[in-house]
Amino acid sequence: MQLLDGKLVSQKTKDELKKQTEALILDGKRPPHLAAVLVGNNGASETYVANKVKSCKEVGFESTLIRLEEQITEAELIAVVKKLNEDNNIDGILVQLPLPKQIDEFKIINTISPDKDVDGFHPVNTGKMLLADERAFLPATPFGILLLLEHYNITTKGKRVVVVGRSNIVGRPISILMSQQRKFGDATVTLCHSKTNNLKEITCQADILISAIGSPGMIGLDMVKDGAIVIDVGIVRVNDDTTKLGYKIKGDVNFEDVASKCSFITPVPGGVGPMTIAALMINTMQAYKQSFTK
């Protein structure tokens, strides 16, 4: 069994981006600039955004963190996003999800300019992804998975891929990307979800199993084929009074049981999570470069 080390690959990706940024500055250009909008005080969201801002600093990007009150209205948030759209010094915009219940997430995503949608959630970028348009901003987590597969040179052509979870952020996009005619695609993909019958029977056929359901430890030893590649996207805080923080981070996969049966597996934390941020940084650099080619 070999670990798919997201920390290692993410750092290599960021080191390369740092070189690109330094070259831009030496050429007299400004660095890429990412704006992050954080609504409320959700603990997990605070951590995610802090990691994104930290990564911007590591690669030499500028970053702006906009903190807004939990009680903000939808109209007020839309006004903030529109102002960022109009700022020519901002290349990428992300609005950290989830948002408070009084705000329609889809409306906010639609408000972000597709040219600055570095999360890859806007319907325009979703359509471009579906059509395999290279100008699309791919959703960061699926993109990060592809980068991980590429680094470890894992063959996907003709393989049986099973994706558990059908969210717009991970499950559905990674199922599309893995089925497309691309170097790390060309797979036969089955998409499973909460209404799938005989789930174990299906996951046991997977050469590559991608779980993105957010249910700690759901994927056990009896759900994995011998020699399978297992990619665990799940990341949930589970209360644990024995730790300093009062919680542990758990994935969908029961790592201790499943690892011995795999050829490759991602740890949680340290697998897909760091790759999501690396992919976001790549998208921000892409948005920056595309802004000069309009």
Residues 6+ apart with CB under 8 A from 77: 37, 39, 68, 95, 99, 103, 108
Catalytic residue from among 117, 119, 207, 232: 119
Residues of each domain in the chain carrying CATH 3.40.50.10860: 28-114
Instruction: Indicate which residue of 96, 225, 232, 250 is catalytic.
Output: 96
Q: Is 96 an active-site residue?
A: yes
The whole-angstrom separation of Cα 212 and Cα 193 is 10
Q: Rounded to whole angstroms, how far apart are CA atoms 32 and 139?
A: 19
* Token duo for residue 41: 């005080």
List pLDDT tens digits, range 58-71: 999 999 999 999 99
**Nearest 10 degrees: Cα torsion 274, 8, 231, 109:** 20
Task: Say which of 14, 52, 116, 225 is annotated catalytic.
Answer: 52
The CATH architecture annotation of domain 140-273 reads 3-Layer(aba) Sandwich (3.40)
Distance CA 14, CA 39 (A): 27
CA 248 to chain centre: 20
Mean pLDDT score of the chain, rounded to an integer? 96
pLDDT at site 294: 63
28-114: which CATH number, 3.40.50.620, 3.40.50.10860, 3.40.50.300, 1.20.1260.10? Answer: 3.40.50.10860
Tell me: the pLDDT tens digits for 215-231?
A: 999 999 999 999 999 99
pTM for the predicted model, two decimal places: 0.95
Phi–psi pair at 92, nearest 5 degrees: -130, 145
| Residue 36 φ/ψ, nearest 5 degrees | -115, 135
- Catalytic status, residue 241: no
Say whether 119 is catalytic: yes
Burial label for 155, CB within 10 Å (0-12, 13-18, 19+), is middle
* Domain limits, CATH 3.40.50.720, in the chain: 140-273
Write out the chain's pLDDT in tens, 294 residues: 999 999 999 999 999 999 999 999 999 999 999 999 999 988 889 989 999 999 999 999 999 999 999 999 999 999 999 999 999 999 999 999 999 999 999 999 999 999 999 999 999 999 999 999 999 999 999 999 999 999 999 999 999 999 999 999 999 999 999 999 999 999 999 999 999 999 999 999 999 999 999 999 999 999 999 999 999 999 988 888 888 878 888 999 999 999 999 999 999 999 999 999 999 999 999 999 999 876
